[in-house]
Amino acid sequence: MMLAGLLSCAAGIASAEVTVRFVDAERYADVGASDAERGRNLTVLERHLRMAMAQCVAEDERLTVTVREVDLAGDIDWSRSSAVELRVLREVSWPRIELEYALIDAGGQTVVQGREQVSDMNYLAHSARARSARETLPYERLMLENWAASRLCRPPR
């Protein structure tokens, strides 16, 4: 399947090691309507995860993130023509991503780890900032940036 190539991805940011894996992506609640859109959205989500977390990982640390579930902001309006996919944003359709993470220091010690459902119930309050970004999945990017800053980033030593 087209998603198979996206299920395990790794790359370095500076000399820090960040690994992002998508597990059972074909079973996610909402990553898009078509295979092509799902593939694009997983690629964008991986980029958003890497960028949000890169600021929190020191050069000699390793971070692994396993994405277990994705439900994008909004819902697809199936009442429209199937030729054009329309995603409708409502207060009750906030973005949610369930993930596991582990940050390991240079000595092999776990700095922080956990499994959480990251969500932003107030995502529409950020709509002006998200719309001005002119990018794919801006609500998810903002949600992941805020989460990474609160969970992974440590004060300077």
Three-state secondary-structure class, residue 24:
coil
* Residue 10 pLDDT > 70: no
Q: How confident is the model at residue 12 (pLDDT cuts 50, 70, 90)?
A: very low
Q: What is the DSSP letter of 85?
A: -
For residues 135 and 41, what is the distance between their CA atoms, to the nearest angstrom?
11
CA angle 140, 65, 94 (to 5 degrees): 25
pTM of the model: 0.81
User: Helix 138-151 crosses helix 35-54 at what angle (to 10 degrees)?
Assistant: 30
Give me the amino acid identity at 38. Answer: R
Q: What is the pLDDT of residues 60-84, one digit of tens each?
A: 999 999 999 999 998 877 666 566 6
Q: What is the pLDDT of residues 29-62, one digit of tens each?
A: 999 888 898 999 999 999 999 999 988 899 899 9
Q: How confident is the model at residue 108 (pLDDT cuts 50, 70, 90)?
A: very high
